Structure 1
Amino acid sequence: MHDYSFFYKKTGSSSVFVAIYVDDVLITGTDRTEITNLKQFLHDQFKIKVLWRLHYFSGLEVLYKEDGVVIPQRKFLLDLLKEFDCHQYSSSSPLDPNVKLKERCNAHAEILEEGSHFRHFLLQQPDYNIGAYCDSNWAACLDSRRSVSGYIVLLGDSPVSWKSKKQETISLSSA
């Protein structure tokens, strides 16, 4: 990799990953022996302190469950809301995918339910395959008639990145 804050070593079916952010080091992988050897080497060189379970790293909060880990965006969102002085507002998200939004809000609009199905968990599973999907819909925006496109990237069955965006121009083809 060309990013000096992320390193990895792959030998056969063994993988070890190291992420560095300021003075924090995150070590993970598929081979406990390799991880233990790396931690001992780093301790011998720098006298590191091993904190075991990860709780925060580079602005991400990590929570543990029996079937995997949860990486909520709560702290990031609260910081973002404070930055733009919007922390007094509240809303539910994401919307029902069949709801078509318009620019002007309806004062009598239906209030959306708060639900746990909006949240995702990274599941504990041996599938480390990366999958990516994209889609677009033609002229879906009711106000501008512009197309909306999006993508999702999965690590196994767990979503790790996603985005949707209204296109800047109107076109007759998505090719």
Structure 2
Amino acid sequence: MKPPEGYTRAKPAQVCCLVKSLYGLKQARRQWNKELTSKLHQYGFTQSAHDNCLFVKGSNVNFLALLVHVDDILITGANEAEILRVKQFLHQTFTIKDMGYARYFLGVELARSSSGLFLNQRKYTLDILKDAGILDAKTTDYPMSKGLKLDTETGTLLSNPERYRRVIGRLLYLSLTRPYITYAVQRLSQFIQSPRQPHWDAILHLLRYLKGTPTKGLFFPTHNSLQLKAFFDADWASCPMTRKSLTGYCIFLGSSLISWKSKKQTTISRSSQENHGAWHQSFVNCESPYVLKDFQLSLSLPIPLYCDNKAAIHIYENLVFHERTKHLDIDCHIVRQQVLNGFIQTTHLSAKHQLADFFTKPLTSHLFHFFRSKMGLVNLNPSPS
């Protein structure tokens, strides 16, 4: 650190060597994380290799899970006495403020009842609507029109692009509990560099939809199966500007939706088989099954992998490659190896039951509401216990 003004003992070109991190420095956050991780390891916690924010300790009734976000910590476990001992250790080490049973965590409301756990971002949603000035606007039935065409050239540039970027950032965080806006937010986020009026109009349409569903969120029932199942789909060459494909997936634990994504592929796929093949490989590397093992849950294998592309499934099951699939050799061998190991099982299903369509394309109002009903979402908070 450069010597502060008024300090005369430092010689020219000398700097101060810090023996303790100071708040506000670039390296302070890393030093804090390093110190917290070190103390948790000393107490007996193990850091997850698949999610560095997760720490686990013990087993069976003494199992503890601790989730860290900077200096906000969420602790859960079956033994309340063990939780209190961890809190006491953290207080003696760092001096903490105990907020009791979790009601809010990083803007997410947690409501518990005998039937399960409900996650919602109602207040956060209303704050977004208030800032946009549309609390009195009419609601819409779906987040994005099916026939909407957006590009980087149509319409006038916004005079205040920062407003567009700010709303997109907040919507990305809102999608933590609102999977049904994931596709729309992903598509609108493609234009944050030079947003135009049609892009802003699409955001207002999305916000009007959110106005009609402020209390909808994810519900995790108390009694649930521990069977994982995944739905994968890809919309081949759907981006009109780059001709890159859009891929999406959703993963369920029993009836509960635990992971989902909508993402434009980084390269251009030359066929729909290649499109699905590359994305199926990403499921093999997906963290969800491995994080569940950190929670000491025994998974039932193989994991069903539902896909509506028969050609992709046949490639995994057929050991013969030809010229049209030569470039898929590595990707397909990785996926096929997991199939042979019994880790996943590729299963064909009809396109009208492909839940991953929810994350790859705009849907008609009927299909949108049908797929949304399958996502384990509820509209009213369970009565907290």
Q: TM-score, normalised by structure 2?
A: 0.33
How many residues matched?
A: 162
Gaps of 5+ in 2: 1-47, 151-197, 199-208, 278-385
Residue-by-residue CA offset, 1:32-76 (whole Å, 9 max, x unaligned): 443243234445555655433211112222223441122113344
Q: In structure 2, what is the Cα distance between the partners aligned to 1:80 and 1:27?
A: 29
Give yes or no for the alignment of 1:102 onto 2:148.
Answer: yes
Residue-by-residue CA offset, 1:151-175 (whole Å, 9 max, x unaligned): 1133443213323345574632323
Q: In structure 1, what is the Cα distance between the partners aligned to 2:77 and 2:61?
A: 11
Q: In structure 1, what is the Cα distance between the partners aligned to 2:228 and 2:86?
A: 26
1:19 alignment partner AA:
L
The alpha carbon displacement at 1:150 in A equals 0.9
1:102 alignment partner AA:
L
The alpha carbon displacement at 1:121 in A equals 0.9
Give yes or no for the alignment of 1:63 onto 2:111.
Answer: yes
1 or 2, which has the higher strand percentage?
A: 1
Q: Which has the higher contact order (CA 8 A, sep 6+)?
A: 2
SS in 2 for 1:103: coil
Give yes or no for the alignment of 1:163 onto 2:261.
Answer: yes
Counterpart of 2:271? Answer: 172
Give yes or no for the alignment of 1:28 onto 2:76.
Answer: yes
User: RMSD in angstroms over aligned alpha carbons?
Assistant: 4.2
2:270 alignment partner AA:
S
Counterpart of 2:218? Answer: 120
- Would you say the 8 A contact 1:147–1:166 is kept in 2? yes
Q: In structure 1, what is the Cα distance between the partners aligned to 2:79 and 2:255?
A: 22
Counterpart of 2:160? Answer: none
Q: Which structure has the larger Rg?
A: 2
The alpha carbon displacement at 1:92 in A equals 3.9
Change (3 A) 1:42 1:131: farther
1 or 2, which has the higher helix percentage?
A: 2
SS in 2 for 1:54: coil
- Would you say the 8 A contact 1:101–1:142 is kept in 2? no
